[in-house]
Amino acid sequence: MNEETLRGLGPSVFRLLEDGMDDARAAPDLRETGVVRAVSRGIARVGGLSGVIDQELIRFHDGLVGLAVDLAEAGIGVALLGDHTKLEAGQPAWRTGRAIEVPVGHALLGRIVDGIGRPIDQKGEIRAEAHWPVERAAAPIIARAPVARPLHTGIKAIDAAIPVGRGQRQLILGDRQIGKTSIAVDTLLNQRGSGVIGVYCAIGQRAAGVARVIATLRRGGMLDQCVIVVAGPEDAPGLQFIAPYAATSIAEFFMAQGRDVVIVHDDLTRHARTWRELSLLLRRPPGREAYPGDIFFVHARLLERATRLREDHGGGSLTALPIVETQAQNLSAYIPTNLISITDGQIYLSPELFHKGQLPAIDIGKSVSRVGGRAQLPAWRSIAGDLRLFYAQFEEFEAFARFGTQLDTSTRQALERGRRVREMLRQDEHAPLAASSQIGLLLATIRGWLDEVPVASLAAVEAAIVERIAHALPELCRRIEDGQPLTDDDHACLQTVVVESVRTLPPRARAESS
């Protein structure tokens, strides 16, 4: 292109060329950089980052990241979210200017991820629909609806006497190795086909225990409806600390879509110990049992995110089932009392019942649901109150009878019926029952329709009753699930089914009854 041609194009061309050159000039990359001053297990002290904010993500050499959890003049304390052996004093650290986020979306269903949403199941990358902050404010009061819809666990003792509602925070506590995780897993299994999404968060659990949970969910056909978040004991303490918050953000995504979600935190005792470890490494002043002063706030801001939303805010719900371990049945220890005061009720598992073979080892007297009958089907409400009262009286009579006192006829009858109620509350692991079957079984026991059946034969009778109710009374089962109350005709139909089931006892059970 010659000079005359350029002159003919006019000054506009030169102006465009000059603007393009301005855009092509390199802009300075301004990043606030600090220096690692000290490194210990899971913690780094960083100096020079004067503008850092609380809970900000800090990036280190070789892709390692951490969370700013302690802001001090001498330097910030960073909880590392990876292997601390990769970090040395003198290496650089950079601010990211953003909070830590976790991928969320339907692609996480059926997947196993670590404490910040990275896949660990060798199934490839996760195509997230969005990234949500791990720390999110709980829903305001104006957006919350009353907890009134039941979340059926499939466990007779819970659904009858300690009902759980969608949006509730129900604590599961007891000594180690007596079935706390089994109750939570059974609750997840019972949601198959109900549309409820499950999130299981393992905090500091051994790999073998987590593998058993995953295998159980897979066998029960519930794994594709769940998200598994795992922060094992070999992971960094910072990763174990942040895992339940990340799992809650994943669950909140589905709640925001109008879905019902249940999340299991297994367990918050280890979570509290992890935060105590980090706080002691950060030289924070210890309080009761060496826990830091903010341990209550750590769990409160996590569990307060569980709620049921109003219809104009999506109508979804998030039910939290936190698990806590007690020592020698000490319910008044620091962490259990904190969580009891935060949650809406507790399911207490007794070692004494466990050693007697009463499984699940749920102590109905020490367990409570502050939502109560509002989270029960009408058919349940008609018998639940009688069950709790009758069972409490039975335990008093049984304790009194140990003295060898001569008892009257009514007391002996109450004892015999109470033993049958207690036997009927037994339930095999990973075998949840439908609400209609549970109601039929417990109604038959409380009303005395099974008084003539030996206690040893109740298991066989139970199986027969469950099968007959499902096949002979499908319309009644549907109406119970739809929330309709039991009528006198329904009671008569159930009684007929129970009597016919007793008549069809197996030969061995019939011989025992005679």
Q: What does the pLDDT read at residue 514?
A: 42
Domains observed in the chain: 33-102 (2.40.30.20), 112-120+144-376 (3.40.50.300), 379-513 (1.20.150.20)
Catalytic residue positions, numbered:
370
Residue 114 buriedness (CB in 10 A; 0-12 / 13-18 / 19+): middle
In angstroms, the CA 31 to CA 287 distance is 38
Quick one: pLDDT at residue 413?
85
pLDDT of residue 404: 63
Q: Are strands 112-113 and 226-231 parallel, antiparallel or unpaired?
A: parallel
Q: CA 60 to CA 130: how far, in whole Å?
A: 25
In eight-state DSSP terms, residue 438 is: H
pLDDT along the chain (514 residues), means of 10: 51 52 55 88 89 90 89 88 88 90 95 93 92 93 93 93 94 94 96 94 95 96 96 93 96 96 96 95 91 94 96 95 94 94 95 92 91 84 80 84 75 87 91 91 88 87 90 90 88 88 64 45
| Cβ 477 vs Cβ 470: under 8 Å | yes
**pLDDT recorded at residue 513:** 44
From CA 349, how far away is CA 324, in angstroms rounded?
11
- Token pair 């295998």: residue: 215
pLDDT at 157: 92
**d(C-alpha 388, C-alpha 401), whole Å:** 20
For residue 332, what are the contacts with CB-CB under 8 A and spacing of at least 6?
none
3-state SS string for 446-490: HCCCCCCCCHHHHHHHHHHHHHHHHHHCHHHHHHHHCCCCCCHHH
Given this model, what pLDDT does residue 25 score?
Answer: 53
C-alpha radius of gyration, the chain, whole number: 29
Phi/psi region, residue 349 (left: phi>0; alpha: psi -120 to 50; beta: rest), is beta
A 10 A CB-CB count for 265 gives: 29
Q: Report the C-alpha gap between 41 and 165 in whole angstroms.
A: 41
Length of the chain: 514
Which of 110, 54, 509, 100 has its CA nearest to residue 294? Answer: 54
**Amino acid (1-letter code) at residue 369:** S
Are 132 and 249 spatial neighbours (Cβ–Cβ below 8 Å)? yes
Residues 336 and 175: beta-carbon distance below 8 Å: no
What's the confidence (pLDDT) of residue 2?
53
Q: Which amino acid is at 91?
A: Q
